[in-house]
Structure 1
């Protein structure tokens, strides 16, 4: 009986020494290490959310998105109506006439925007530097061909001396210049009129006399503090817009794309032009009573970070399972080929060292560039595993091979993170080559004996 028990114990201990058992334990350990890897990914998300909160706080005080619509010519006119009333006692009929005022709105015949955007690097909150900018917007053009009859308005009902100019804009609190508009050479002050039209605040001039004016030229300049984006609404019968900015990664947004013939993006700046005519947008040149919401027809540029530091960290962490799995596979193949026994505890230490790479990466990235942080974190982990594997494997040949393999692996992942359009293609080719290498080095192992 005792012999049988000893035999079963021996068989069990022998089975745990087989490659099959070791593969199972390493596989289970790999899955267990997904727990700390998930914790690291949650940490990255938390830090990213904190950055977003800091960005919102900064932009609320500095200035938000910029959207400009105008100028708009506003002309009041009279509407007359009459009602018939019957006196209940005398049964006599009387006609009472009423009048009230409404407004007609006319968009420019020609409208030109010339915008210079300068990125501001000095603004900082703690560890974070949100993207903010200063924008100088110059606007000029003219009004002509005012068609009151198309709106059913008789010229004799128009209050010619009550005309005004309106400019509608978002981000009113961050305008940093005095606001004047020149109309046929005469300067008029623009002031808020207390109205709010959707996302826009309204600036308006005092009254001026439009009678006998057939062509009304205008020009004005606005200086903004802004963040994220700058957009325009093409209310001119012909609208031309140009934007120059010292930013190398714009995203052109809205309903209309810039002209390909003049668009230019360099390592330090970009230039973009738009030209739109009235047939490009489905709204009229004049309105009575009120102007509809035209926000959906805006266009412009958004200053973005193509991949910010937290997005890069998040993408790197998604390859954590691959790094752990391939590193364990390398150690397992070395163990199988060299007959050197590696304990499960030692695999655990190796796995935790690989997890530490991501905590090092995110913490260093917040104080430096992603490239420097990645180099320091990867080098630290590779050196640590080199020294540890020398003590475990008792020689230098295999540890040097492991060091070379990890260097290639981390370099490969860094390249994938930096790529956008070709990330999937390069990743697929790389994984194919890794699989081919594993198949090559494991081809002579006799798995039937394990």
Structure 2
């Protein structure tokens, strides 16, 4: 028994005095503290999903993204095929000509779109999104359709059954009837297939559903049988997130005006005017020619899916607090490790005893920074949240270290080190393009400082 007690006493003294034992203890504590950091990452992801769910619910009730595809001219024509018929009684065969009705689709020669957007913010609890009302004025003209590609004679074209098609992603947000005007005649477009599928909730052009609207037959005077025919449309739509158009004109000119201050231009094409951003909002202009896009002006086998070539403006309110919080948690290992390293060096060089429980309390305080950051950033800006959480944690650990180290010089050093560390992490998070460069240089300087501070430690006799 006495031998065992002596061995345990020797082990306790070794664990208390040995640098190797203290290093093992600090390393184990760092690994243990990775567990709460993992839970904090899950919390951020959960809050992010909740924010997206609330925004999606608001958008669904108001009206979702607006995507306009059209107008498109739909012209029916006749084709003929032969069918062999055989009389089973007389055994005589004969050929019969079968008449088929098919449809050709033609895009406008010129397409001019002018849209005025009036966005506003909608809030639910701590979450908010941008919705808008839009006035869209569309003009242009159709040239005489060319059927030479499929060798259709003019007499087989059913001009009196010509119609106009417009596709839109958001009929729920329509604030006026869809009407198109040729000469002095107006034609109302009615819905042929109303898609309200949940796939539109995926918020991706690949899955976005389009609702098709079609007019009645145009009068012969309004069909481009002999010459170009001009048209005009006036559309009022409510929407959210973004508004986009597909450049189906041989020449497409689009002008979008708004008082929205944080415009984000999206899609395959960007505005060409350099003065698009103004103090009052933005006035963006696009000019797209048929040579700029990889699709034709006419189709004889249905309307093609051209949603991937849409362009426009995104009105989403930038909510990057969760993304920044998530990035800051990724540096949690670095913050805990460097903080423990500072205490370890002070303990080793000054021979001050720091208990593992005290290391654990410091580590828990460091992890509390991230929960404070997430909760405060939901009600304020990320900068204010980071500042409040940082000051709180630095003050707490500095005050706690005063009771441990019993030395004002070491306490001040702890406070300065933590302030520098959190400032360094904040700078890295803000500088997305230079994060790797600044982080690498900063870590190199930290390593140099640690090597300089530990150069006089007697590792063999400690």
TM-score (normalizing by structure 1): 0.89
Structure 1 partner of 2:427 = 415
Which residue does 1:280 correspond to in 2? 292
Shift of 1:363: 1.1
1:229-277 deviation per Cα after TM superposition (whole angstroms, max 9, x unaligned): 3322221112223334515252522xx3315553745788455443322
For the pair 1:27 / 2:27, whether they are aligned, the reply is yes
In structure 1, the residue matched to 2:192 is 193
User: Equivalents in 1 of 2:41, 2:84: separation in Å?
Assistant: 76
Identify which of 286, 292, 295 aligns with 2:307. Answer: 295
How far did residue 98 of structure 1 move?
A: 4.3
| Counterpart in the other structure of 1:129 | 128
Tell me if structure 1 keeps the 8 A contact 2:272–2:286. Answer: no
1:110-162 deviations in Å (ceiling 9; x for gaps)? 112233344321x1233221343333332221111421333322222222222
The 8 Å contact of residues 124 and 130 in structure 1, kept in 2 or not, is answered as yes
Distance (Å, rounded) in 1 between the aligned partners of 2:87 and 2:360: 101
Shift of 1:187: 2.9
* Mean CA deviation greater in 79-88 or 421-430: 79-88
* CA shift in 2, pair 1:198/1:319, >3 Å: closer
Work out the CA distance in 1 between the residues paired with 2:275 and 2:390.
Answer: 39
Give distance in 2, aligned partners of 1:290 and 1:6: 90
Alignment of 1:142-161 (within 5 A): 142-161=141-160
Superposed counterparts of 1:62-101, under 5 Å: 62-81=62-81, 83=83, 85=85, 87-89=87-89, 96-101=96-101
Structure-2 separation of matches of 1:194 and 1:222: 19
| Secondary structure, counterpart of 2:353 in structure 1 | coil
Q: Is the CA contact 2:369–2:393 (under 8 Å) kept in the aligned structure 1?
A: yes
How far 1:388 sits from its partner (Å)?
Answer: 1.1
Gaps of 5+ in 1: none
Change (3 A) 1:210 1:286: farther
CA apart distance, 1:435:
1.5
Which has the larger displacement, 90-99 or 304-313?
Answer: 90-99
* Equivalent-residue separation in structure 2 for 1:298 and 1:99 (angstroms): 38
Mapped contact 1:250–1:270 kept (Cα < 8 A): no
CA distance in 2 between counterparts of 1:37 and 1:22 reads 23
* 2:266 aligned with 1:252: yes
Q: Which moved more, 1:55-64 or 1:363-372?
A: 55-64
The 3-state SS of whatever aligns with 1:129 is strand
Contact 1:41 1:317 in 2 (8 A): yes
Q: Are the structure 2 counterparts of residues 15 and 263 from structure 1 closer, same or farther at C-alpha, using a change threshold of 3 Å?
A: farther
| Structure 2 CA distance for partners of 1:86 and 1:340, relative to 1, 3 Å | closer
Deviates more, 1:297-306 or 1:375-384: 297-306
Cα deviation, residue 325, structure 1: 0.8
User: Match for residue 215 of structure 2?
Assistant: 205
Displacement after TM superposition at 1:76 (Å): 2.3
Q: CA deviation at 1:202?
A: 1.4
2:402 counterpart of 1:403: no
2:62 counterpart of 1:48: no
Distance in 2 of aligned mates of 1:251 and 1:259: 8
- Cα pair 1:262 1:273 within 8 Å, conserved: no
Which residue does the alignment assign to 1:426?
Answer: 438
- 1:311 equivalenced with 2:323 (yes/no): yes
Indicate conservation of the 8 Å contact 1:264/1:270, yes or no: yes
Whether the aligned pair in 2 keeps the contact of 1:248 and 1:267 (CA below 8 Å) is no
Q: Structure 2: which 5+ runs fail to align? A: 196-206
2:232 is aligned with 1:233? no
SS in 1 for 2:344: helix
Q: Distance in 2 between matches of 1:176 and 1:274?
A: 25
Aligned CA RMSD, in angstroms, stands at 2.8
Q: Deviations over 1:391-433 (max 9, x none)?
A: 1122322222211111111111112112221111111121112
